[in-house]
Structures are given as C-alpha cells and as structure tokens.
C-alpha cells in the first residue's frame, strides 16, 4: 500500500555508500538521512550514561498501553545545577502522583505538582541566571563536531567533514555546535568561541520558573511540542531532550485554559513515576545511544538533511537550521 | 492559580501603547506580542474571502465534541492550479467519507482516500513542477510588508516600520515577504525580488504527491504538526495554512506504521466533509481575518516576537525565524 499512497516522504532506496571518484572527490551522497544513520558503524554511536537519563511513566492510555517518556539530561558543564536538582527530585520520588497540567499547541507540554503545595525535598540548588549560558574555555568541548579540532560550525577548518558542514547561521545565532548529542548556540571572539548556550528545539526539555530572578528548581518541567521556540533560549534553562516517547506528550489533548492549562483535575495526565535510569533494575533500564557528532556518519547525515538528494526530492535546500538536524538517537542494540 | 504556577510564558500586563519620546523616537515597546495584536484597530485586519477558506469536519471526538479544521488557501498567483483543484474536489464533496490516514510525530498529519480507488471528479488540473515557485514581476505583490513599497524583508527602505523589521535571513533563504498573511521566501536580483515561493511552517497545508514529475492533484493533503520542515519548500506544493482547529490534527494518535501511517482502518479518523466556506450557509460559515502585514500593528508585533521585552523575558533574542512570526488570525468580530 505504501508504494501506491501519495507518500510525502522519500521512497525507500537500497543503501549505497558515497562513491569516490577517480579524482579522489566524493560524489554527492544520494542516500536519505535515515539510510545513512542505519548504515553507521557501531563505533559511531555513543552510549548515554544511565545517570544522564530520566524515565517518566505516565498513566497508561485508555487502551491500557504504557506511556514511557525517556529524557536525556544535558552534559556538563551545562545546566548542572538544575540537572542535579532533577536527580534529587527523582531519587526522592517527588514526581510520583504529580501530573501533566498544561499542553499548549505548537508550544509545550508541562508537568509538575498542580497543587503547588507538595513540599520539595531538601538539598535543591538555587541556580543563578548566569547559568543560562556558559563562558567558553579550552577543554570545554573535548568532542566538537570537527573531528577533534575546537572549531565551531560554520567551520573555518580545512577538515573535509567540517567543510561539508551546513552553514547554520540564522536570526538567533551565527554559530552552533553539538555537545553530548545536543545543540548549542555560540558567540565568537575572533576564531574562538566566547559564550555557549543550549538551544530549544522540538523535544527539548526545560525548567519552568516564575519571573526573573527566579530560575526554577526543576520540579516543574516542560517539553517542546511545536516549532522550535528559539525566543526562549537564554531566558530559561534547557536541561535535556526527549529521546523516546515524545508522542505521549505531543498527542495529548490541548488544555482549554489560558496558556493551555487544563481546566479540571480530571483532564490532567497522572505521572506514576520519574526515575533516573541508573535507579531502575537492569531489566527495566532502557539503554540509549546517540550518533557521535564527530563521526563521518553524522557529517554525511547532516549534509543529507541540508541537501536532500534522495528520490523524492527535486531541489536540495542547500542548508538546514540547527533544529532540522536532530542528532540521531537509538536504543542500544 | 495561574499567578502561582510556574508559568512558562509571560505574565499578563496591562496594555500600553509604545511611548513616543520628545526626540520623536519611539521607545522600545514592552508589550507582549499578544497584547499588540489585541490592541490592533479594526482597520488593521483583512477579511479572508469565504472562497479562500475550506472547512473540514472530522468525526466528533470520543466525547461527542465536533472537530472542525479551517484552512486558508494561498493567494494568487501562488499554487492556483492546486487551489482550483481543491475547490473542484470540495464542490464534488469528494472528501466526504475519506479519512486522516497518517500522523507522523514532528512532521505531518495527512488525509485523503485510503482505498486509492475513489474516482476523482472531472476537471482537475495537472500542475507543472514549475508552479512550486513564481517569478517576480512588478505588481505581483500589491501589498507588501513595507507600507506599499515593493521592498522585501530585510528591507532596504527608509520606511520606519520596515527598518524595524527583524532580519529573517536563515539557512534556507536570504529574503522573505508575506502575501495574503502567509510567508514566502525569495531570491533577489539586485534590489528586485526574482523568485518567490511559499514556506512550510507549523500549520502549513500541502499537497501529497508521488515521485517527480507527479505534483499531486490536491486530493491528498497534509498539515505540518511539528518543527517547520523547510527542506520540503520548492519540492512540494504549499496550498495554505490552518487558521483554526490545528489541535484536532496535532493531538491525534501517531500512526505506528512507517511514516506514521495507521496500521488499521479502525484507527483512521473519518472526515465527514470538506467544504468551501462560500458553499456553507451564512449561519454555518466561519469568518476570519488576518492582521495586515502592511500595518504598524504587524510591524510592532514582529518586532516584539523578535525582541521579547515583556515581563517574563530577560534577554530579547534580537531576531526571529520566519516561522516564529506567524501572521495573526482571528474570527471576524
């Protein structure tokens, strides 16, 4: 049936490696991004540490099917005050019995304690606003998307993979990089990165807060379920991204009150638990990997995302915005 | 409760007009975009013609509530071959009894005839691929976002509103404009627009097709329900945007087959009807307006979207991507 339907996306093609011509130049890769990812060798995948993953179990859906949302937490040095708080809250089982309280179309799904009365566990950090972005220092990015050279994207390196890297400059920032499989924007001073901050994309997870100077603890979290709300960057803490189960949030009914809050308690979606993956038993613990942004596979994937040459497409775009380059994630085989 | 919740978005503020200082300069507008839109005078709103609107009635939801999706069709000269076909199909009541067959997370919801056997009505245009983008000619854009001067965004005009316009250049295009309340990308030759094409944003509606050179008739349609898939621009026809009811598509369960197709007929969401608004009775016909992109209100709105100065925000972004500047739409008062 698929071959007959007016399918919007590409038709499956047999995988083919990029052809190297006699000149030594690499012929344009006509594979779809998904084919490139599927062909990436095991060594191109990076295991996400279990203590960098939180696992949220929503109440089962109306047919009784479980709804698990897995979230990767931001790598050091980003957002670590809030990330530590999330660990504290998870270990205290604080979210058990809380709920998804707000679902606003083309924006966010947000969860936490609807009563606002549940006492917080001890030991939560109060995080300063200065933590919304980090100053760069050498060694900050041991693994940058340029096969090790500390060169941001767009690259000034002669490195072939970096040279193929799509130019990501957009109205929000001139320069981007990826750390731990997540996207970050940067300013530069000369040829060196200066300030670095996480980017809100679809599936990004952030920390709800009151008005400045409050920065939130992490008890109230949200996930982006629409077009990337980049105006939130540096105004609120991004602490991670959903790696599995975003559909359990993005397909929820939208709330009918202002900002998409649910009008009644009955509408809220109960949260059974949020646990660090490292606190689950071996049998229950999900294992995930992301595609290394230093790998040739990622470079080929990014190039293909920016220049679709697979069968369905007529006109490669010649570029991609950073949120249209999600770093691939998979369950560890 | 709202004032206590860790609300992600701005706190409501009393509306205030932009202050004009004694120097004649306008002080930065600290209003939220929504406040600016709410304060726009009646003369800033443009009525959408009823024959530029299609009204889709999905089967009611499980609680019996109706689910209506209203779509504005693209203005001439864009996509008119497909737009005419959509009118032909609607007048033939062709979609009655068809269904939403595909919902792919962070991508599209797609609908049409799942059997692929339903005969099409006579008189459908076969549209050429060259219609994916239009050549510019003087008079093409009688109403451009610059108070009448044919100047694209970013503007080179000394017009104050245009001068405040956020610079929208991104990895996909250098120049943008708005026509009929919808966003278009452009190339330039010198200071004149050269080629113009519609942009895929959240809520955009497009025409499903087979492989090139097929361009689709319009019988199979999709709406974007995730981050703007800009790589589709100029590869497939954008014919409009959802102006009301997108949540009835974006909150649907995701399909479990490849590309988000539903596995079983029972999962598909029945479409009761799709009608041109002009073919509905006066009582049933919804009336919509969009905020004129030539108005001072839109200029202020766009500036505020790109530079959030309202209470919740600490750091205005200093820019916005075109899909983060959706042209406001409202029910006609």
Interface test with B, best of A6, A13, A212 (most B CBs within 10 A): A6
Cross-chain Cβ contact A254/B247 below 8 Å: yes
Tell me which DSSP letter residue A23 carries.
Answer: T
d(CA A240, CA A205): 5
Structure tokens at B68: 């209506």
Cross-chain Cβ contact A171/B167 below 8 Å: yes
Res B188: pLDDT:
85
What region, left, alpha or beta, does residue B228 occupy, with left being phi > 0 and alpha being psi -120 to 50 degrees? beta
Cross-chain Cβ contact B2/A261 below 8 Å: yes
Structure tokens at B264: 């079983």
Give A-chain residues touching B231 at CB under 8 angstroms.
Answer: 305-306, 308, 313, 317, 320, 324
Summarize the confidence of residues A233-250 as an average pLDDT: 98
Interface test with A, best of B5, B8, B89 (most A CBs within 10 A): B8
Q: Which residues contact A56 (CB under 8 A, 6 or more apart)?
A: A68, A69, A70, A71, A95, A111, A245, A271, A273, A274
Provide the residue ranges of all domains of chain A, joining segments of one domain with +: 43-331
CA angle B193, B197, B202 (to 5 degrees): 130
Res B163: pLDDT:
53
pLDDT single digits (tens) B19-40 = 445 555 557 789 999 999 999 9
Res B14: pLDDT:
38
Nearest to A7 among B11, B232, B259 (CB): B259
Res B238: pLDDT:
98
The dihedral over CA atoms of B292, B293, B295, B297, expressed in degrees to the nearest 10, equals 90
Q: Which residue of A has its CA nearest to B206?
A: A8
Hey, how many other C-beta atoms are within 10 angstroms of the C-beta on A183? 25
Q: Which residue of B has its CA nearest to A316?
A: B231
Domain A43-331 CATH class label = mainly beta
- Residue B134 DSSP SS3: strand
Cross-chain Cβ contact B254/A247 below 8 Å: yes
d(CA B37, CA B319): 19
pLDDT of residue A7 exceeding 70: no
Q: Is the ipTM of this complex over 0.95?
A: no
Nearest to A231 among B129, B212, B324 (CB): B324
Cross-chain Cβ contact A308/B172 below 8 Å: no
pLDDT of residue B249 exceeding 70: yes
Cross-chain Cβ contact A246/B106 below 8 Å: yes
- Residue A322 DSSP SS3: helix
Lowest-pLDDT range of A21-25, A190-194, B17-21, B94-98: B17-21
Q: Which residue of B has its CA nearest to A215?
A: B6
pLDDT single digits (tens) A208-224 = 999 999 999 999 999 99
The dihedral over CA atoms of B254, B255, B256, B259, expressed in degrees to the nearest 10, equals -110
Nearest to B116 among A5, A170, A254 (CB): A5
Per-residue pLDDT band for A156 (boundaries 50, 70, 90) equals very low
Cross-chain Cβ contact A251/B246 below 8 Å: no
Cross-chain Cβ contact A208/B6 below 8 Å: yes
pLDDT single digits (tens) B167-200 = 788 999 988 988 899 999 989 888 778 899 999 9
Nearest-Cα distance to chain B for A22, in Å, is 31
Q: Which residue of A has its CA nearest to B204?
A: A227
Lowest-pLDDT range of A44-53, A100-109, A127-136, A164-173: A164-173
Give A-chain residues touching B2 at CB under 8 angstroms.
Answer: 257-259, 261
Res A17: pLDDT:
45
Q: What percent of chain A has pLDDT over 70?
A: 84
Res B153: pLDDT:
45
Cross-chain Cβ contact A253/B251 below 8 Å: yes
Summarize the confidence of residues B130-141 as an average pLDDT: 83
- The closest alpha carbon to B297, from B1, B29, B20, B7, belongs to B29
pLDDT of residue B330 exceeding 60: yes
Res B326: pLDDT:
97
Handedness of CA B122, B128, B129, B132 (dihedral sign): negative
Q: Which residue of A has its CA nearest to B207?
A: A8
Res B159: pLDDT:
45
d(CA A243, CA A329): 7
Nearest-Cα distance to chain A for B42, in Å, is 24
d(CA A13, CA A304): 14
Per-residue pLDDT band for A9 (boundaries 50, 70, 90) equals very low
Summarize the confidence of residues A304-321 as an average pLDDT: 94
Strands (E) located in A170-293: 175-179, 182-189, 192-198, 204-207, 221-224, 238-244, 269-276, 288-291
pLDDT single digits (tens) B222-243 = 999 999 999 999 999 999 999 9
A28-to-A300, A328, B24 alpha-carbon distances in Å: 10, 21, 56
Cross-chain Cβ contact B312/A11 below 8 Å: no
Please identify which residue in the block is written with the tokens 């072939």.
Answer: A160
- The closest alpha carbon to A222, from A243, A200, A244, belongs to A200
Nearest to B211 among A101, A108, A312 (CB): A312
What does the DSSP assignment read for A226-262?
A: SS--GGGTTTS-EEEEEEE-THHHHTSPPP-SGGGB-
- CA atoms within 13 A of residue A74's CA, in its CB half-sphere: 31
Summarize the confidence of residues A261-266 as an average pLDDT: 98
Structure tokens at B303: 């500036």
Res B26: pLDDT:
59
Per-residue pLDDT band for A193 (boundaries 50, 70, 90) equals confident
Nearest to A314 among B103, B129, B169 (CB): B129
Cross-chain Cβ contact B8/A323 below 8 Å: no
pLDDT of residue B149 exceeding 50: no
Lowest-pLDDT range of B54-68, B199-213, B290-304: B290-304
């Amino acid at each position: 049936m698929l071959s007959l339907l007016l399918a919007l996306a590409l038709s499956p093609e047999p995988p083919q490696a990029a052809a190297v011509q006699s000149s030594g130049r690499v012929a344009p890769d006509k594979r779809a991004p998904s084919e490139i990812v599927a062909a990436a060798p095991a060594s191109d995948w990076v295991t996400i540490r279990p203590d960098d993953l939180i696992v949220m179990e929503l109440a089962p859906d109306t047919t009784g099917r479980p709804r698990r949302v897995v979230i990767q937490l931001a790598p050091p040095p980003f957002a670590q005050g809030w990330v530590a708080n999330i660990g504290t809250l998870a270990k205290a089982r604080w979210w058990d019995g809380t709920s998804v309280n707000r679902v606003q179309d083309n924006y966010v799904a947000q969860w936490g304690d609807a009563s606002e009365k549940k006492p917080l566990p001890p030991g939560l950090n109060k995080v300063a606003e200065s933590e919304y972005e980090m100053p760069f220092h050498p060694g900050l990015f041991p693994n940058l998307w340029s096969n090790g050279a500390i060169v941001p994207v767009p690259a000034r390196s002669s490195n072939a993979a970096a040279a193929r890297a799509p130019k990501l400059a957009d109205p929000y920032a001139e320069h981007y990089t990826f750390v731990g499989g997540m996207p970050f924007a940067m300013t530069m001073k000369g040829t060196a990165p200066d300030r670095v901050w996480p980017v809100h994309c679809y599936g990004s997870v952030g920390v709800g807060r009151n008005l400045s100077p409050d920065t939130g603890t992490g008890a109230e979290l949200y996930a982006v379920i629409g077009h990337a709300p980049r105006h939130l960057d540096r105004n609120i803490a991004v602490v991670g991204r959903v790696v599995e189960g975003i559909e359990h949030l993005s397909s929820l009914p939208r709330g009918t009150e202002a900002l998409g809050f649910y009008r009644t308690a009955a509408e809220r979606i109960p949260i059974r638990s949020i646990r660090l993956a490292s606190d689950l038993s071996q049998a229950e613990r999900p294992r995930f990997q992301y595609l290394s942004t230093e790998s040739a596979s990622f470079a080929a994937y990014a190039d293909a995302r920016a220049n679709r040459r697979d069968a369905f497409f007529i006109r490669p775009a010649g570029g991609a915005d950073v949120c249209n380059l999600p770093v691939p994630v998979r369950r560890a085989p």
